[in-house]
Amino acid sequence: EETWQNIQAAAEATQKELQLGAINSNATVSAESPTVPEPEPEPQISDREAIALARAFAATLKECAPIQKDMILSCNKADDGECAQASLALTMCMGKNLCKVQHEAVGSCVNDAAGGEEIQNAKIDAALENLAMCVGMTHERVDIAQRQHPDVFADK
């Protein structure tokens, strides 16, 4: 129950952040207000975090390469259902290393039959959404780290 509450709280917080970001990014410039909102500054990533991100992401990509290949093949076909399943498999694989808490929450929700099927499905959906957001945000941090620390990500 506590895990589910934490999942819900995290999802709500992330959704609020995304909504605020959408509001800020939709700002327009009119004749009356010639000011353009300044873009948010890119977060600074330390050398230490860049190295950790590079190692974790490289290991994850290596481990998930066969699943990524399957996803690409599935998504090149006309079957959207097969593509969605393959995409979910890739998210689960990447989440196992990059987002351990969220990955474990998905497993907990799958194994928790309390509350009936409808409630269990809602819990699983929320946990999967949190996992997907975490993998996406981690990927964004890797992109930022690559820009700020290209030497860490260079093939040596």
Question: What is the DSSP code string of 6-74?
Answer: HHHHHHHHHHHHHHHHHHHHT----SS----PPPPPPPP--HHHHHHHHHHHHHHHHHHHHHHHHHHHH
Share of the chain above pLDDT 90, in %: 54
Q: Using a cut of 0.85, tell me whether the model's pTM lies above it.
A: no
pLDDT of residue 114: 76
pLDDT of residue 100: 96
pLDDT tens for each residue of 70-125? 999 989 987 788 889 999 999 999 999 999 999 999 999 888 777 788 888 899 99
93 to 40, 64, 122, 136: CA distances (angstroms):
31, 6, 21, 13
Q: Classify residue 144 as exposed, middle or buried by CB count within 10 Å of its CB (0-12, 13-18, 19+).
A: middle
| Sign of the CA dihedral with 85 first, then 10, 136, and 131 last | negative
